[in-house]
Structure 1
Amino acid sequence: MRLEYKIEDITNDEAQREQLIRFLATFEDENRGEEFWRKRLIHWWNTNPFYVEDMPKGWVLTYQGNTVGFLGAIAFQYVYCGEKYPALATTTWRVSTEHRKYSLRLLSEYHRLKDNYILLNTTPNEVAKKVFTAYRYQSIDEVHNYFFSIKQRSGLLTNTLFNTTYHFQSSFSKKNNLKIVKQGDIFGFDKQLFQPDQLQRNVTRDYITWYCQALSFEKEFVGAVQDHNNLSSYLILRRNRMKEIDTLQVIDYYSKQADNSEILALIQYVCENPETISISQGCKVLILSSFATNQLFERKPAYVLRRRSKYPQYYSTPSALNGVHKMCYIAEGDYGL
């Protein structure tokens, strides 16, 4: 690389951050201003519950002292068999057109961390696919979308998207003795939400709050509590649009239960009580998106209409985790952040 170009670590230097903010706010086709990017960087690096000092924040490419490229890194934490593992997800890989031939130098800095971190990327384009395939990252891109009708003012649960009508066959929430909670409610969180034999995100109260407060789009949390008022299952929803129809999309979910009954109970609650969800106005369908490897609802296909779509996730794990099954969710990497 020519001497005029340098790769620099993102630090706490205020001048470096302000130059980065200006670069991001004025990048081609970008219409969000400096204040948006200032708050977004604070969210990624300053209020992130899993970021610890000296973890990488990302890298900038400079030319003659000016920022011309950026690759961000967002900290996460994963759990397997009770052990915690740090993770870094790429975000906002941007290089000015005239300097784009040096783009891979930024990604090389990230890839060098593969022995110390779980690495994740969720960029949905062919360039990312070619690069991460060449780096031999594991990948998954098959998603099952499960469709549920949302109750309308008429009282019917009508699935306009597929011209069918769907009714829950029983009250899952009453059957499972669940109490529904929202983000601002008081509930216990004394146990971490993870299965011991699978590699998956460490979900904590601070993580849920932090994720739902991210600026990319509005999100809403709905949870269920059982014993001692402790959280046992949850959904995180966003508003979306499919085929000109307003929808609620479940982008994240989890349950301590081995079966899917509490997830169904939460879905039923949302579909039958949409007025309790602030982002649901006008939405006719709830869509739960799940990677095919999670095999969600496979035992009860009558409850759902299934479609398949493509959404990529590329990941690399340190050698200590070779062969370990990783649970994959839509709300991983920088999605929604």
Structure 2
Amino acid sequence: MASHSNDDFERLRKIHRVLVMHYVEGLSQAEIAKRTGLSHPTVNRLVKEGHERGYVQISVRSPLQSLFALEEQLSAAGALKEAIVTPTVSDQEEVNLTTVGRAAAEFLLSNLRDGDTICVSGGRGVDAVIQALAPNRAYDVTVVPATGGIQGEYFTDVNHLAAQLAHKLQGKAFQIHAPVFAASREERDVLLSLQSVREVLARARDAAIAVTGIGSVLADRSTYLSLRATGSGAESELARLDAAGELVAHLLDRRGRLCDYPLNERVIGLTLDELKAIPLAIGVCAGARKAAPAASVLRGGFLDVLATDEATGNAITDVLKDETHGN
């Protein structure tokens, strides 16, 4: 044991006493000064010295600690500005998506400013965010589609969602009068040359915030498969391409790269590079079937924020670990 002079011992005793009163008993430095008769500057110096000597170790324990740790893992894996992970409250994907949508809606409102343009994709994830929104004031914002629309999918169609979001925020919305997929590359070029389409997508490129779902491509409930004419053998073709997920109607492989797939050349909407250039791109997903797609999107680095639930987040990290070991 190290020996100390009486002066050292007295100083260390004072440091210990002050630290206990401040961090354990919860007294302010002014209260400590009054109780001990020391001056406020002296108390401040003793606290500072206690830190410098390594006498103070602060730990935070929370029932949500596992969620915060998972957020850090996902943020590191996808080079995200932030991950938002909510508790998994049900075995039903829709219930968890509602919870995720609520958290994403709060995040959106905390980052939204008057004058912003928001671009949105279609899908259930974006719908969950919009349904959860409860703004306490009107926002002078513009909402635009990030892709073409979908016939027959009214409640998850991008035009409907853009209008609903603008209504919730008391802003204005633009509609896109084009399908999400053109029949050919030539038709795509024609549609993109139309002034009405060109202007909407120009607004989308200049958006401050993007809100997008993350699509599965091989599951039974794949939205991507429902968006296009699915011929015989389509699923096996996607498997051959190592397809993993969909983002703003673009098909991605497990490594987050665009698949060499004809439909990718016929998308009416933002390119993935254009999505990546938007200052705040928020992705929303929940459910085991979204783990592989979300892992693909993270590998591609297309998002700034991912909102998901704990079970899905853990499944995403498992996919990323398996793929890393597989490489």
TM-score bucket (shorter structure): under 0.3
**Structure with the greater relative contact order (CA < 8 A, sep ≥ 6): 1 or 2?**
1
* TM-score scaled by length of structure 1: 0.24
Structure number with bigger Rg: 2
* TM-score scaled by length of structure 2: 0.25
Compare the two structures and name the one with the higher helix fraction: 2
